[in-house]
Amino acid sequence: MKHTKVKNKILVVLSFLLIVISAQSAKADGASLLIFPQTGSFTSGNTFEISVFLNTGGNNVNAVEVDLQFDPQKLQVISPTKGVSVIGEWIFPPSFSNTKGTIALVGGFLKDGINTSEGLISTIVFEAVSPGTTEVTFLSSCKILVGKEEGNNILSSVNRGVYEILPPPFKGPRVFSETHPDQNKWYRNNSPSFNWEKVEGTEGYSFNLDDDPYGEPDNAIDSYSASVSFEDVEDGILYFHLKARKNQIWGGTSHFKANIDATPPLDFEPYLESFTFTPGNNLLIYFGSEDSLSGIDHYKIRINNISDPKNVIFSAWIRQDSPYSFPTDNSGNYELEVRAFDKAGNYKEGKIQLKVINPFFIITSEGVQMKVIFISWWQIYILVTAIILGLGFLIFSIIRRVRGDVRVELQKEIKEAEKEIEDVKKAEEKLRKLRMKEEEAGREWRRLKEDLEEKIGDKNKPKV
């Protein structure tokens, strides 16, 4: 493929040089029409372009009429015009016939015409249809007109294009996988292997594994055998791309999809809805998980009787959707296991334990079921905390109230005591004054007694 591309580039350069040489000679000999490139190799099923140039030979040209012919068995026109053109105005719209193999381009130039050595008239897009050598040629009806009205035809030379149409590359080998056989299924095996049918005469294979559905391997040989294995690849939708080289040419690319999900679903725990009413002697147990890649496929449950740790009774795994109605007719300790499976077969397990005291009172790892009402532990904690706080507040209020009453009573008693003390002080003061009056009366009595005794003594004293 690389040699073909180099060859095409060389042919393009040589064709361009031929156009320049032709253009130089045409200046002396007259006007010319040229096809570029004149040669090239193109693969059947692909498209390619050729350009038609005008060399006026130093003259002012007023109009051109270009009629081309091609082999419709080898080529088909996709578009007769593409991109810019020196044509000032198309006298007739560009037309073509893929049945007759003809193209017609008729146009004129405004005012004094055009004088050019490399004027691009049109770029034509062809599709290569079938292998072989084919030509694109100018018909004898082509004209380069000078002068107004009918004008004079000064076309003196034309060239032609000769092209090699190559067969399409052989298809890529048929790929299959023993580890990931179905391209629409998910697998948890992250070490895929791929095999392919060996192509006769193959020189080697190039392959690649990525997340691009249209990816292409490079042009380096990676293997000479017809199998390859990968280990510990990342989860996701991956594509294996393969092509073979034969006769120094790389064939088409085969693609094979592998869906890999080795990651289990997200963690989850079965649960009971708070304050839900469940008719009959049953508990509604809910469960659910998520898987971001392949998605959840189904759930399985198993009920284990763990009343006797030495003799645990396991039930069979059964498919079950959420919620599960757990019967509570028989008392005992139970464990409900739930497995969430993704589409690759990975699973994550969640558990919930239940203690059936009687059909009206059940203790679970999630909370308590009383008759037909379930209350979770966190709601019980909140309720108990609220009750404790309420009782605490009530007790505090009572204590505060009692302390207030005691304080008022004490203040009242203190005031009464202070009043009594004040009364005592007043009584003591009165008593002190009475004592002072008593002492003063005693002194007065003694003085009067002494005066009386003195008077009586004077009376009894004998007169001399």
366 plus 399 within the same structural domain? no
Residue 268 included in any domain? no
CA 242 to chain centre: 29
Residue 274 included in any domain? no
The angle subtended at Cα 185 by Cα 181 and Cα 188, nearest 5°, is: 85
Report the pLDDT averaged over residues 390-408. Answer: 81
User: Exposed, middle or buried by CB within 10 Å (0-12, 13-18, 19+), for 151?
Assistant: middle
137 plus 184 within the same structural domain? no
- 21 has pLDDT over 50: no
Residue 68 included in any domain? yes
181 plus 160 within the same structural domain? no
pLDDT at 372 (0 to 100): 55
Residue 425 included in any domain? yes
36 plus 71 within the same structural domain? yes
The confidence band for 169, taking pLDDT boundaries of 50, 70 and 90, is confident
- 58 has pLDDT over 70: yes
Residue 90's CATH number: 2.60.40.680
- 241 has pLDDT over 50: yes
Residue 266 included in any domain? no
Domain that holds residue 198: 175-260
60 plus 122 within the same structural domain? yes
pLDDT at 9 (0 to 100): 46
Residue 273 included in any domain? no
Task: Please count the structural domains in the chain.
Answer: 4
- 59 has pLDDT over 50: yes
Q: Which of 371, 390, 420 is the last residue of a domain?
A: 371
301 plus 340 within the same structural domain? yes
Residue 451 included in any domain? yes
- 332 has pLDDT over 50: yes
pLDDT at 247 (0 to 100): 85
CA 315 to chain centre: 40
pLDDT at 70 (0 to 100): 97
Residue 232 included in any domain? yes
Q: Which tens digits make up the pLDDT trace of 127-159?
A: 999 999 999 999 999 999 998 766 799 999 999
pLDDT at 398 (0 to 100): 85
Q: Average pLDDT of the chain? A: 85
155 plus 76 within the same structural domain? yes
Q: Which of 345, 371, 397 is the last residue of a domain?
A: 371
Q: Which tens digits make up the pLDDT trace of 263-300?
A: 999 999 998 776 555 556 677 889 999 999 999 999 99
Residue 232's CATH number: 2.60.40.10
388 plus 453 within the same structural domain? yes
Q: Which of 371, 406, 425 is the last residue of a domain?
A: 371
180 plus 327 within the same structural domain? no
26 plus 117 within the same structural domain? yes
- 17 has pLDDT over 50: no
